[in-house]
Amino acid sequence: MSLDTADAPAESTTATGRLVVTGASGQLGRGVVDALLARGVDAGRILATGRRTEALADLAAKGVATAHVDFADPSTIDAALKTGDTLLLVSGSEVGNRVPQHRNVIDAAARAGVARIVYTSAPKATTSTLILAPEHKATEELLAASGVPTTILRNGWYTENYVGAYQQAVEAGSFIGSVGDGLVSSASRADYAEAAAVALITDGLEGRVFELSGDVAWSHDDLAAAFSEVAGTEITYRDLSSEEHTAALEAAGLDAGTVGFVVGLDANTREGLLGVVNGELAELIGRPTTPLVDGLRAAVGASVAAA
């Protein structure tokens, strides 16, 4: 079906299996289940899975089926999947262990005869030098070799990733980085969750790859302005060289691995790897993506509420 005119794509009329959402005890997976319900999907058609089934109790109370699934334990995946299911593989949270864990899910999906796998990947995963791309590239290769029809959602940067920086900046009145003039086209987690829900319920997306990002590419000066608006006080951004940034983070007591990741990610931002805007996310969800300041305000509020 077309994705450019309907406000809410209709639920698939050809698929008869369940919609299986992995990682539903985490924030993105939970958001996908919420988005499916908001779009009128019958709760009985959804299977929400996660390692912490106690975190799924409120979904079960709404009629959503739940199951324990641990990517590291193939038997739990086999027990959850059935022929004809459409499976959302939310990329694992254990960086460094994602590929073998994702392989377990993909192999189980192939054994079960699922109808399609929707996978949350990274921007231009198969060609990008983004520090996070290699595990996603390897997973996309596993999907291609599996024989299972797939839809790839290459999620861009999340606005929620800046909550920690915001909290530190409010205390200090400023924050640092080494992004230069690099831009970021972030969107909210809710935007990406809704996109995954749409991909699960929309016909004709087999073999499609979506490069998803926010509608606006912003600078770190723009981020400082957003921080200032949410905090109600002026916050500034100071740009450093990679070497200066490394020294500052080391002086703050961060371990070498974290320092390398942060500085490397800022280098990726400086190179423009997180600033692509193409409108595919807005087209998929049928509305504009959440503006930076709105997404940040919501994320900060959620963080405070959870504290």
Digit-coded pLDDT (tens) for 279-302: 999 999 999 999 999 999 999 998
Q: Answer for the pair 133, 125: CB distance below 8 angstroms, yes or no.
A: yes
Q: Which CATH number, 3.40.50.150, 3.30.1490.390, 3.40.50.720, 3.10.20.30, labels domain 19-158+188-213+277-289?
A: 3.40.50.720
User: Residues in the chain with pLDDT < 70?
Assistant: 1-16, 307
The structure tokens listed for 132 are 């996070």
Residue extents of the structural domains in the chain: 19-158+188-213+277-289
Q: Answer for the pair 104, 76: CB distance below 8 angstroms, yes or no.
A: no
Alpha carbon separation from 132 to 126, 180, 196, 267, 304 (Å, rounded): 11, 20, 20, 12, 28
201-217 pLDDT, tens per residue?
999 999 999 999 999 99
d(CA 213, CA 192): 9
Task: Give which of 166, 164, 198, 195 is closest to 289, Cα–Cα.
Answer: 195
Q: Is 26 helix (H, G, I), strand (E, B) or coil?
A: coil
Q: The whole model's pTM is what?
A: 0.93
Residue 215: phi and psi, rounded to 5, are -75, -20
Q: Is 298 helix (H, G, I), strand (E, B) or coil?
A: helix
At position 193, the amino acid (one-letter code) is A
User: What are residue 255's DSSP bridge partners?
Assistant: none
Instruction: Give me the pLDDT at residue 36, please.
Output: 97
b/e sequence 221-236, b meaning 16+ C-beta within 10 Å: ebbbbbbbebbeeebe
Instruction: Give me the pLDDT at residue 11, please.
Output: 47
The structure tokens listed for 68 are 């324990």
